[in-house]
Amino acid sequence: MNRQDTTATNLANQKKAALLFISDWPETERIGYNEEGGFSGAGDWSAWATVTIAGKDYQEDLGLSLVGGDPLPAPIPNSTPAPVPITFSDGSSGVLG
C-alpha cells in the first residue's frame, strides 16, 4: 500500500471511529485528531484525538472496535447528537451528524 492509500484509509477510519464514538457519547461537542492513526499488532485500527464533552477536553484513542484514554463522563441517557465539528489529522475539517 502506498503512502496516499494509507493516508486515505486512515482518514476514512478517523471518520468511522468518530461516528462510532458519537453514537455512544451523543453529547460530544468536538473531535480533533492528534495523529493519523494506524493498525496495532493485533490488527485493530485507532488514532489519538482530543474529544470535547461538556466543555472539557479528553485525550482518547478512538478505534473501530475500542476506545481508551482519559476517563469519560457517563453518556447522557436519551441524548440526541448535535452536529459535531471534526478536524482530521491532515488538517481538513468537517461536521458529522
DSSP, residue by residue, 26-45: TTEEEEEESS--EE-TTS-E
d(CA 6, CA 97) in angstroms, rounded, equals 25
pLDDT in tens, 13-72: 999 999 999 999 999 999 999 999 998 877 889 999 999 999 999 999 999 998 899 999
Length of the chain: 97
d(CA 28, CA 73) in angstroms, rounded, equals 11
This prediction's pTM: 0.91
pLDDT in tens, 83-95: 999 999 999 999 9
